[in-house]
């Protein structure tokens, strides 16, 4: 009996280190393939909505498809490209090409700031893996469309066109993620205007979006006449002064992109400080999967956001490469371990989504504790990045 109790004690002592263990990437990609096969079956079983081209989430127990202009439309094609990247299976190449093609017209969309998500996650990965010049041309045209939303007086790219009674020139922290498209377009075209817009936007966001503790507001509203800040709010978070979890992840990832493309040390320092805020926050759970907002007073009785965790993990692997810090790798490994053990969909369940337990827009009672396509995208991206981050 004493021997048995001793074994139990040793097992309990080992639990913390076991919890940090990264999942087996090969096994997780196999699971992702099984889920994606199921997703394709679900999509093909939907009739009557040919304009809806990409799966987004589960709504009322059913798969929700969205049109190409939806901000999330590029994530599922991106997952398909990542599966092809890992497996080199021509089946995934064919599916990735098919779903990517459905978004081609969005290269001309000047009514959204989300062209980075829509076009770069799809066509960007497609070009990286195939070298297809037609994909390059789409990326450059999309960058031209995105650039029309830049106002030299504000020095930032306008995010939303809606709620004009509330905001004059709203810019959200998510917009940092769309700068990658502009950087790539300068490489492809030789036109430095895209690069300059991206850097100007990043600099003004760094100046105006962050609090002294390096947490971020969600929305900064500018005056289009003189570029002054009219207000700072957190539209999708608990309150204006709270730290909306996915917003912190977007900021972290976005400034890592900016450092990659410019080697400006200010951007690297910003990313490190955002990471410090996230991982030193007293409300971050032990499994490192954040609640939807770090300051929700209902914690722990509120929803998590697996998407914020997946975005953070992927960002940390790249950050580790620039800082040579194994701590970032360990944290990213731990996040992936937690996601793989406690946040995956049931096998062939949830219409084929890979992860569950994400939160989209809780204040609007939208997409609470559900699978969401961008969680899947950044989870698979993080798995692939983890293979190189050692």
The binding site for substrate comprises: 114, 174, 234, 246, 250
Instruction: Give CA angle at 323 (322, 325), nearest 5°.
Output: 130
Tokens of 245: 């979890």
End-to-end Cα distance, the chain: 42
The length of the chain in residues reads 390
Q: Active-site residue 174, yes or no?
A: yes
Q: How far is residue 249's CA from residue 245's CA, in Å, rounded to a whole number?
A: 7
Look at the block and give the residue holding tokens 């983890």.
386
**Residue partners of 291: CB distance under 8 A and separation at least 6:** 245, 283, 285, 299, 300, 302, 303, 304, 305
Is 234 in contact with 217 (CB distance < 8 Å)? yes
Instruction: Give CA angle at 287 (335, 239), nearest 5°.
Output: 95
Q: How far is residue 303's CA from residue 301's CA, in Å, rounded to a whole number?
A: 7
Residue numbers in the known binding site are 114, 174, 234, 246, 250
Considering the candidates 174, 221, 305, 376, report the single residue annotated as catalytic. 174
Look at the block and give the residue holding tokens 């679900």.
42
Considering the candidates 114, 221, 296, 333, report the single residue annotated as catalytic. 114
Q: How far is residue 384's CA from residue 390's CA, in Å, rounded to a whole number?
A: 12
Tell me the catalytic residues: 114, 174
């Amino acid at each position: 009996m004493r021997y048995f109790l001793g074994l139990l004690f040793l097992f309990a002592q080992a639990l913390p280190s076991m919890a940090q263990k990264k999942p087996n990437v090969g096994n997780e990609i196999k699971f992702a393939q099984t889920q994606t096969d199921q997703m394709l079956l679900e999509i093909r079983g939907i009739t009557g909505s040919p304009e809806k081209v990409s799966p987004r989430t589960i709504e009322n127990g059913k798969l929700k498809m969205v049109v190409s202009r939806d901000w999330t439309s590029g994530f599922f094609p991106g997952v398909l490209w990542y599966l092809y990247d890992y497996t080199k299976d021509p089946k995934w190449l064919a599916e990735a090409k098919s779903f990517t093609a459905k978004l081609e017209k969005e290269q001309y969309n000047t009514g959204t700031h989300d062209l980075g998500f829509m076009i770069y996650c799809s066509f960007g990965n497609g070009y990286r893996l195939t070298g297809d010049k037609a994909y390059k041309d789409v990326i450059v045209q999309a960058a031209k469309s995105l650039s029309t939303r830049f106002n030299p007086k504000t020095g930032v790219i306008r995010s939303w066109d809606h709620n004009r009674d509330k905001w004059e020139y709203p810019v959200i922290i998510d917009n940092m993620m769309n700068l990658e498209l502009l950087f790539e377009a300068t490489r492809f075209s030789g036109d430095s205007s895209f690069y300059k817009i991206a850097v100007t936007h990043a600099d003004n966001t760094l100046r105006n979006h962050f609090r002294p503790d390096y947490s971020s507001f969600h929305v900064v509203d500018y005056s289009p006449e003189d570029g002054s800040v009219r207000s700072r709010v957190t539209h999708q978070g608990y309150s204006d002064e709270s730290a909306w979890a996915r917003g912190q992840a977007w900021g972290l990832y976005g400034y890592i992109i900016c450092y990659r493309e410019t080697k400006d040390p200010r951007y690297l320092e910003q990313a490190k400080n955002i990471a410090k805020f996230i991982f030193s926050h007293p409300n971050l759970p032990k499994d490192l999967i954040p609640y939807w907002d770090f300051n929700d007073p209902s914690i722990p009785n509120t929803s998590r956001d697996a998407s914020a965790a997946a975005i953070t993990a992927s960002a940390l692997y790249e950050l580790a490469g620039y800082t040579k810090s194994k701590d970032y790798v360990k944290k990213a490994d731990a996040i992936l371990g937690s996601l793989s053990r406690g946040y995956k969909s049931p096998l062939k369940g949830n219409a084929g989504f890979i992860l569950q337990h994400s939160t989209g827009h809780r204040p609007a009672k939208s997409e609470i504790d559900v699978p969401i396509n961008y969680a899947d995208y950044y989870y698979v991206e993080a798995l692939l990045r983890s293979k190189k981050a050692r």
